[in-house]
Chain A
Amino acid sequence: QKEVEQDPGPLSVPEGAIVSLNCTYSNSAFQYFMWYRQYSRKGPELLMYTYSSGNKEDGRFTAQVDKSSKYISLFIRDSQPSDSATYLCAMSPAPGGGADGLTFGKGTHLIIQP
């Protein structure tokens, strides 16, 4: 079993829909949770960062962490074609990754249809 599981998709939704992206993990030491967006052949771009359990909202994006279920989510409201990209969840036991670095999921390929 991988430490972080993420459905690779592709996930295709119509423009304007609410998108839900999820990851599950097995390492209970993870305390820091991130979502990155990666366009084709580019480096990952940080979208959201959350410490421990709870919700965080930034514009059209909401990140949720449920440590009791070892489950994290990213919601995108009013999705736009420009949101089409691969979304990577990442997590670590220490801030900045620490000596173990960030552990990533495989990424979910999201397609927003105009």
Chain B
Amino acid sequence: ETGVTQSPTHLIKTRGQQVTLRCSSQSGHNTVSWYQQALGQGPQFIFQYYREEENGRGNFPPRFSGLQFPNYSSELNVNALELDDSALYLCASSLWSQETQYFGPGTRLLVL
């Protein structure tokens, strides 16, 4: 059984650019959630995908968007990058209505 994987591990972008982050769910999991973790803070919920549709969303603007694919892998897209978007982006997978989420290692994004 493979765990949650994310790519790339690190990324540097400039303000105004667009970025796509990728996540592969743990084997057997059908739900993916994305979180943003700024330095020294706890993770903040961005959104959750189930059956290829957004199931819920935190307090993030529309320039944060996502996709879930039939194999349950997922993408997080961020447009018009801002300096404050610099953070660790975490993907978590679970079975729908399962009590717990399992996190990947994250992608560290730096916006200059």
Instruction: Please indicate the chain A residues that have their CB under 8 angstroms from the CB of B70 in the complex.
Output: none
Q: Is the beta-carbon distance between B42 and A104 smaller than 8 angstroms?
A: yes
User: In the complex, A45→B101 CA distance in Å?
Assistant: 10
Q: Is the beta-carbon distance between B56 and A106 smaller than 8 angstroms?
A: no
Instruction: Please indicate the chain A residues that have their CB under 8 angstroms from the CB of B97 in the complex.
Output: 94-96
Instruction: Please indicate the chain A residues that have their CB under 8 angstroms from the CB of B101 in the complex.
Output: 46, 96-97, 102
Name which residue of chain A comes closest to B9, CB basis.
A41
For chain B, what secondary structure do more than half of its interface residues adopt (helix, strand, loop), or is it mixed?
strand
Q: Is the beta-carbon distance between B102 and A46 smaller than 8 angstroms?
A: yes
Contact of A102 among B6, B45, B57, B96 (CB under 8 A): B45
A-B pairs with CB below 8 Å: how many? 84
User: In the complex, A95→B50 CA distance in Å?
Assistant: 14
Q: Is the beta-carbon distance between B106 and A42 smaller than 8 angstroms?
A: yes
Residue total for B at the interface (Cβ-Cβ under 8 A) = 35
Q: Is the beta-carbon distance between A96 and B99 smaller than 8 angstroms?
A: yes
Q: Is the beta-carbon distance between A96 and B96 smaller than 8 angstroms?
A: yes
Q: Is the beta-carbon distance between A32 and B99 smaller than 8 angstroms?
A: yes
Given A41-B108, A102-B45, A106-B42: A96 touches B103 (CB 8 Å cut-off): no
Interchain residue pairs with CB less than 8 A apart (10):
A43-B4, A43-B104, A44-B43, A49-B99, A96-B96, A97-B45, A97-B101, A99-B56, A102-B43, A106-B40
Q: Which 7 A-B pairs have the closest CB atoms?
A: A99-B56, A101-B45, A104-B42, A43-B103, A95-B99, A43-B105, A96-B94
Instruction: Please indicate the chain A residues that have their CB under 8 angstroms from the CB of B6 in the complex.
Output: 43
The yes or no answer to A103 lying at the interface (CB within 8 A) is yes
Contact of A101 among B33, B41, B88 (CB under 8 A): B33
Best-buried of A44, A90, A94, A105 by chain B (most CB within 10 Å): A44
Name which residue of chain A comes closest to B105, CB basis.
A43
Name which residue of chain B comes closest to A88, CB basis.
B42
Q: Is the beta-carbon distance between A42 and B105 smaller than 8 angstroms?
A: yes
Name which residue of chain A comes closest to B56, CB basis.
A99
